[in-house]
A and B are shown apart, each in its own frame.
Chain A
């Protein structure tokens, strides 16, 4: 009898989904409020809060870079995994195409995030 020893890659994607879901549940609403509403309108926070020197200094710190990396990348993986399964729920079974879209875009986004953060820190 042949036993299929190939490991499933599902837990990896599920873990990324869970981590992104947790992070977006914890800080998502406040992040959206700060960057998308409060600062652009000068509501409660100064319009200058996200000025170039401030954000550059934040990104140059390891904790700042790690935070931004985690937020952008995990949000993408969370959304991709959830949308992939919702497509299935909606009766859209495009298989490889849906997988390429839902997991390929987060992968590309991850690479762009790394590229942007590295070039901000070192160039």
Chain B
């Protein structure tokens, strides 16, 4: 069967508009992918901080002052929620992204991998907080 190349008819392509809103699984997927926007935004805040630090004390103090603005606080609270959700989903997806881990010949269970990841995050968070609290307070 031959199809005339120059037929004026365009093939039907199904619209992708709003596909992810049709199913709670896809909605969750888009939300956890969306956390990347907040990771990028926070990295930008830190990058600006580093540049300001390199410009001297006055520039650094201005950056610290900007972080105290209500808008910045609101932004960081939303970012905290988003990145915490990233942590949660990252370690729940991890069992499916890691190669099988064998412990004494038995495969480590998905739940154990998730638990280990979340525990590592909690321990590192406590260490980070105690370091800032102990060294600089």
| A interface residues, Cβ below 8 angstroms from B | 18, 20-22, 24-37, 39-41, 44-46, 48-52, 54-56, 59, 68, 71-72, 75-76, 78-80, 82-83, 85-86, 89-91, 109, 112-113, 115-117, 119-120, 123
Contact = CB atoms under 8 A, between A and B. Distances in A.
B57 A32 contact: no
Contacts of B120: 26
B33 to A, nearest CB: 5
Interface string B3-32: 000000000000111011000000000100
B132 interface: yes
B121 to A, nearest CB: 5
Nearest to B117: A25
Contacts of A123: 54
B17 A30 contact: no
A34 B128 contact: yes
Contacts of B53: 52, 55-56, 59, 116, 120
Given A30-B128, A55-B53, A25 B90 contact: yes
B-side binding surface: helix, strand, loop or mixed? Answer: helix
Contacts of A25: 86-87, 90-91, 117, 121
**B19, B53, B68, B132 — most chain A CB neighbours (10 Å):** B132
Contacts, number: 176
B136 A24 contact: no
A55 B61 CA distance: 11
A27 B128 contact: yes
A53 B121 CA distance: 28
A116 B109 CA distance: 43
B101 interface: no
A27 B86 contact: no
A89 B30 contact: yes
A72 B47 contact: yes
Contacts of A39: 64, 67, 132
A90 B50 CA distance: 34
Contacts of B87: 24-26, 28-29
Contacts of B121: 25-27, 29
